[in-house]
Amino acid sequence: MSTAPDPTEEQACHSGPHGYIQDKPRYLNRLKRIEGQARGISRMVDEEVYCIDILTQISALNSALENVALGLLDDHLRHCVLDAAREGGEAAEIKLKEASDAVRRLVKA
């Protein structure tokens, strides 16, 4: 199963910047911290740290990723979906479906 958007979704995107652009540095900093957390968990396993301590760190990592995902979703709704809704028509329907699909994937995770 591919995670790459299909060509019709790419064509449906608006021509302006993505909603998260204003917060890009903040997102990148968060993702770098998350990357460090993941490396730390790997190190904990390598050093045979107590299982519960590793699970606690995995929980924290999952929470951090969920917060990034929710922030991106919020930015998408406030920018991309809102712009498309103002435009109306097929573009609005496509953006609403994308948002619904994204929420569905997040809820499954």
Provide the token pair at 8. 């019709």
In tens, the pLDDT along 36-64 reads 999 999 999 999 999 999 999 999 999 99
- Residue at 65 is within a domain: yes
pLDDT tens, position by position, 58-92: 999 999 999 999 999 999 898 889 988 998 999 89
- pLDDT, residue 16, reads 59
Give the model's pLDDT for residue 30.
Answer: 96
Measure the CA–CA gap between 29 and 63, rounded to whole angstroms: 16
**Is the pLDDT confidence value at 5 over 60?**
no
Task: Note whether residue 98 is domain-resident.
Answer: yes
Long-range contacts of 98-106 (CB under 8 A, 24+ apart): 98/9, 98/12, 99/73, 102/73, 102/76, 103/73, 106/66, 106/69, 106/70, 106/73
In a domain, 2, yes or no: no
For the chain, the C-alpha Rg in angstroms (whole number) is 18
Do 31 and 62 touch, CB atoms closer than 8 A? no
Q: Is residue 11 part of a domain?
A: no
Look at residue 69 and tell me if it is in a domain.
yes
Residue 4 domain-assigned (yes or no): no
Residue 94 belongs to a domain with what CATH number?
1.20.58.1000
Number of domains, the chain = 1
Within-domain flag for 95: yes
